[in-house]
Structure 1
Amino acid sequence: MKLLAFAASNSSQSINRQLVDYAIGLLADGEIEGVPAGALEISTLDLNDFEMPIYSIDRQEAGGIPQAAHDFYNTLGAADALLISFAEHNGSYTVAFKNVFDWASRIDMRVYHDKPIVMLSTSPGGGGGGFVLRTAGHLAGYFGNEVLASLAIPRFGQNFDSEGGTLTDPDLDAQLRETLATLSGLLP
């Protein structure tokens, strides 16, 4: 099964990217119940590879949909499932993700290609990116995906060892592992 994992952020120091990297490490190493090592073909993407002008209907009518939007859309379509960690900026998606998503939605509103998805988020504060996670989950069905599970990790700096690349709070780590275990139902 092909899993595409990424952080919905263009920051080179993205804490959501660190969370995704930790999650895919657990999955790749067979540390998730029901997901043996090697069961997933995991790939990642970087939103910085899909930079485009800010979406507007005027730009679309004048120049069409940029190739980067097609590349993003097709990359999602090539996966069997998605793992996305949503960064929260002022209670919503990052501008980088929203712009790529807006352009891709002009190709087809089913941006997620009806793929099952595990949604994560984290933030420095106590909400853990909960606002953007709720928004993403609420809107998922409109854009073609089934949310298998979601989890917000609060106070990233207190609960994650960035140098070691590990979630240090045992309760949150257990919750993350449970969340990722929902992928086991997709395996043959």
Structure 2
Amino acid sequence: MSRPDHATLRFLVFSGSLRAGSLNSSLARLAAKVITANGGDVYLGSLSDFDAPSYDADVEQADGLPPGAQALRERLEMCDAFVIASPEYNASVPGGLKNVIDWVSRYRPQPFNERHCLLLSASPSMVGGNRGLWALRVPLEHLGARVYPDMFSLAQAHSAFDGDGGLGNDHLRVRFESTIADFMDLVEASIHYPCIKRAWVEFLGEAPDPAIDRVDRA
């Protein structure tokens, strides 16, 4: 699937795993390829680019953000949206990924706020890492990120990729490519049609409550 009409959109894509040969890194590379095929501009990174020591408020006060967190903050600010392909550790978020999110959240203006996000996962299990994505939504949405509702979890990922790094199953390939293309459409609408951005209400279909909802209706 290719809809080359997103040339002005910039995406940060990275894996939430530090492991060499990570299945999630393979999924991140595939996502970057699909975004490029649809006309998007991609910065493909890895968690190792953004690795940071455990968050310590004393270190922050003395030295500010460490280099890895600064790198993630800068990349977020350069992009219109971001995509994370994250493994599931003990049914939750990998510690290294959560840690750098915590670091970056300390920066002002806070760079996750109002930035669109797509979550992906890959795992040898039948669950596909999906429980980890539900846990990852919590801090990102708390920080104001507009997390796309259709997450993609690739089960039995150790046997899902073909020799070219694509998905061997046609049904999965179409669903994966459609999810990314639809996400790109939403990001484009948010940028070029401000009324869409102001009316954002987390896909609940309800009128926003100004006291609790992160919605600009001005």
The normalised TM-score by structure 2 is 0.74
Matches within 5 A, 1:25-174: 25-29=33-37, 35=38, 39-108=39-108, 110-148=110-148, 149-161=150-162, 163-174=163-174
Aligned length: 179
* Aligned counterparts of 1:186 and 1:62: Cα–Cα separation in 2: 37
Of residues 105-114 and 124-133 in structure 1, the stretch that sits farther from structure 2 once superposed is: 105-114
In structure 1, runs of 5+ residues without a counterpart are 30-34
Q: Which amino acid aligns with 2:35?
A: L
CA RMSD of aligned residues (A): 2.0
Give the deviation of 1:59 after TM superposition. Answer: 3.0
What are the Cα deviations for residues 23-76 of structure 1, in whole angstroms up to 9, with x where unaligned? Answer: 2212323xxxxx3xxx21111112212332211224334443323322211211
Asked whether the equivalents of residues 101 and 111 of structure 1 are also in contact (C-alpha less than 8 Å), the reply is no
Q: Which amino acid aligns with 2:187?
A: L
Larger Rg: 2
SS of the aligned residue for 1:167 comes to coil
Q: Which amino acid aligns with 1:2?
A: R
Give the deviation of 1:108 after TM superposition. Answer: 4.4
Question: Taking every aligned residue pair, what percent have the same amino acid on both sides?
Answer: 26
Cross-structure match for 2:179: 179
The normalised TM-score by structure 1 is 0.85
Q: Which amino acid aligns with 1:156?
A: A
Of residues 136-145 and 176-185 in structure 1, the stretch that sits farther from structure 2 once superposed is: 136-145
* Structure whose residues are more often strand by fraction: 1
* Aligned counterparts of 1:131 and 1:109: Cα–Cα separation in 2: 30
What are the Cα deviations for residues 68-98 of structure 1, in whole angstroms up to 9, with x where unaligned? Answer: 3222112112100111111112222222212
* Aligned counterparts of 2:133 and 2:177: Cα–Cα separation in 1: 18
Cross-structure match for 1:32: none
Flag the structure with more relative contact order, 1 or 2, with Cα contacts below 8 A and sequence separation at least 6: 1
